[in-house]
Chain A
Amino acid sequence: MSTMAFDKELDLRNLPCPMPVVKISKGIKEVAVGGVVKAVTTDPGALTDFPAWAKTSGNQILGTDEAGGEVSFFIKRMK
């Protein structure tokens, strides 16, 4: 999964609430529709927040990659 191609990487490690979601919602707009953002998180809450955000914002989580206490989300901008 870590070899999945992406257009932009966001470092969202150890941010206070609710910055991971705020930053991904802004960061996704920095790639073209169809582009992919890799977001690296450390918060356990990101594992529920990101899917919920993707659902309400109409974007798609292509996959996740877990390693060494970090979870990377690969998110495709859909609109």
Chain B
Amino acid sequence: MEAQLKNDLVNVFKSKLSSQMLLNLDTCSRCGLCTEACHAYASIPLVKYAPAYRAEVVRRIYKRSFTAQGKFAPVMGEAKEITDAALMELKEAAFSCTGCRRCMVYCPFGIDTQQIMSIAKLLLVAAQAEPETLSMLADMSVSKGENIDAFKEGFLSGIKRLEDQMIQTWRDEAGEDPIPTDVVGADLLYVALAGAHSIIPSARIFNAAGEKWSLSFFEAVNFGAFVGDPTKTKLILDRIVNEAKRLRVKEVCICECGTAVRVAKQLKGAPFKVVSLTEVHARYIRQGRIRLKKLPGSYTYHDPCQIARNGGVYDEPRYILSHLVNDFREMSPDPKYNWCCGGGGGLVAMGDETLDFRMQSAKVKADQVRGSGADVVVTACENCHTQLSDLNKHYGLGKEVRFLSSLVADALLPEPQEARG
């Protein structure tokens, strides 16, 4: 590695050294309480998958570059220079961590390994050694924001096709404008994903609840966050912020995409509220704006880490499910200890290249799903849904994997005629 790049990377590292990060880097007592908490280590007991070991890969570089002992007696403190080999180690550590923060729940000091991994990801981006697929996806999203007028027409013709499908299936809820876009003064901007499954059930529910809504031109998922590039993360998020401001909406509702929910909820000072689709559906039920019939079968719920552990949304999905099903079974007595599905952090988005690791590292999740005894596994995140479906196939679990929103749409009861007006 050239001296200039090495120097640049040290400066990039320095830019991440907030007081919180210093606490994460300086505090670990190596007690090992986090070790078994990581699904990757619990499923593949190799030391490289232990949270404290992952963190140590970053910490060694920190010691070498920023602590006196590391600078002057590197061997004693196991300090390490940034080299090409060190970058490879950082890549393996960061992209085998889903950022689920289960380890943090067990750490007596609350050390945030996911935060430490954000240093590793940033160094990889600065060295242009990040996973190619993720940076390609992030570039595509940024480009859409820069050229929306060029892409709008294609998007609208795709939506028109969905509207035709909606009218055929649900004439009642379709209304005059089944999937509204670009509505200035709408109350709620819904930010979905590219697939019909992310748009049609939600549209049906918004219309049934009488919501004044508008569908965003942009997809919710933030590939910049997956790759760990703060500049692209912001550019991708800004597309939605600017659209929400232009339409003067009160609320931005993010679809069932965990990372998108987490990133958007971190926004500060925006003139609108950010909510997840699950929170909106719970509110509609509470306010009597939608009514649901009970569905047959037994159900369990997988908490997407970015929405539950990292976003605090535990009660709403359970509240919705209490209106949807009679037979609900928890996977873990306390949902904050629910295992990660093993698909987050960009692993699912990398597709087949990560499939083997995803299947092996999430064996504990597959066991947990099997142990629930439920017929249907419900979740509220695209990544989790894909990963759970892959696990279902790989381990022969014989479950049905469903999005919470699609169950709500299936269970909608028609409004009494007089209430429709």
Contacts and interface: CB of A to CB of B under 8 A. Distances in A.
A8 interface: no
Residue in A45, A55, A66 with the greatest tally of chain B CB atoms within 10 Å: A45
A49 B136 contact: no
A: contact size bracket: 20 to 34
A18 B135 CA distance: 13
A57 interface: yes
Nearest to A22: B351
Given A47-B155, A47-B157, 15 more contacts: A17-B221, A17-B257, A18-B221, A18-B223, A18-B349, A22-B133, A22-B349, A43-B158, A43-B194, A44-B199, A45-B193, A48-B217, A51-B154, A52-B147, A56-B140
Contacts of A57: 136
Interface of B: 133, 136-137, 139-144, 147, 150-152, 154-155, 157-159, 161-162, 165, 193-196, 198-199, 217, 219, 221, 223, 257, 349-351, 382, 385-386
Nearest to A50: B154
Interface residues of chain A: helix, strand, loop or mixed (majority): helix
A66 B157 CA distance: 10
Interface in A26-59: 26, 42-49, 51-53, 55-57
A79 B404 CA distance: 42
Contacts of A46: 158, 194
B165 A48 contact: no
7 contacts: A20-B194, A44-B158, A44-B194, A44-B196, A52-B141, A56-B136, A56-B140
A22 B154 contact: no
Contacts of A16: 195, 382, 385-386
Interface of A: 14-23, 25-26, 42-49, 51-53, 55-57, 66, 69, 71
B155 A44 contact: yes
A19 B386 CA distance: 10
A22 B199 CA distance: 21
Residue in B140, B143, B161 with the greatest tally of chain A CB atoms within 10 Å: B140
B165 A55 contact: no
A55 B147 contact: yes
Nearest 7 A-B pairs (CB), nearest first?
A45-B194, A44-B158, A47-B154, A48-B151, A17-B193, A56-B139, A47-B158
